[in-house]
């Protein structure tokens, strides 16, 4: 233990040598050179990963905007409206074939309602889409006695 205390006392007595004037002049020259280099160069370091290519970003946004506009126009296009058809067809006037106790059709009415366009769909295995339109109909036959 005593050996360490003697060694520590010797180390405490040691002092660094004073710097030479030549060291001060070399450090001063190096600082001036670095300052001159920094004045001429751009001080900000910009890594490549943070640089934004504004042209490609602008073209991408423009293409996305065009796509959204076309999709909006296509979705707002009104479906071809199928008018509700109600028709009345007159009975055939063939008197030669009419029998007294026989019923003959006097008229036919077909009403189409609840028409809805479900848009374009791809059927199983189809290459091109097809438009699905659903509707409900109500058909009425009118009969009359031939006599």
Query: DSSP string covering 31-45, please?
Result: HHHHHHHHHHS----
**How far is residue 54's CA from residue 59's CA, in Å, rounded to a whole number?**
9
Average confidence (pLDDT) over 93-110: 72
- 114 pLDDT more than 50: yes
Q: Tell me, yes or no, if the pTM score tops 0.75.
A: no
- The number of CA neighbours under 13 Å toward the Cβ of 117 is 12
Average confidence (pLDDT) over 82-107: 67
Number of structural domains found in the chain: 1
Residue 51 lies in a domain: no
Which residue range forms the structural domain that includes residue 6? Answer: 2-40
How do residues 8-58 score in pLDDT, each as one tens digit?
989 999 988 899 999 999 999 998 888 777 665 565 666 666 667 888 889
The DSSP 8-state label assigned to residue 38 in this structure reads H
pLDDT of residue 94: 57
pLDDT of residue 71: 86
3-state SS class at 61: helix
Residue 89 lies in a domain: no
Residue 26 lies in a domain: yes
pLDDT of residue 42: 60
pLDDT of residue 98: 45
| Token pair in block for residue 84 | 């509700």
Average confidence (pLDDT) over 68-90: 72
């Amino acid at each position: 233990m005593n050996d360490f205390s003697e060694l520590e006392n010797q180390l405490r007595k040691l002092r660094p040598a004073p710097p030479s004037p030549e060291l001060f002049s070399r450090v001063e020259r190096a600082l001036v050179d670095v300052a001159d280099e920094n004045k001429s160069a751009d001080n900000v370091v910009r890594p490549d990963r943070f640089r934004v290519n504004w042209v490609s970003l602008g073209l991408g946004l423009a293409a996305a905007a065009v796509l959204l506009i076309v999709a909006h126009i296509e979705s707002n296009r009104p479906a071809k409206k199928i008018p509700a058809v109600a028709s009345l067809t007159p009975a055939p006037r063939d008197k030669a074939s009419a029998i007294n106790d026989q019923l003959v059709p006097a008229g036919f009415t077909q009403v189409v309602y609840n028409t809805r366009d479900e848009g374009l769909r791809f059927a199983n295995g189809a290459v091109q889409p097809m438009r699905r339109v659903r509707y409900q109909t109500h058909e009425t036959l009118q009969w009359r006695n031939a006599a």
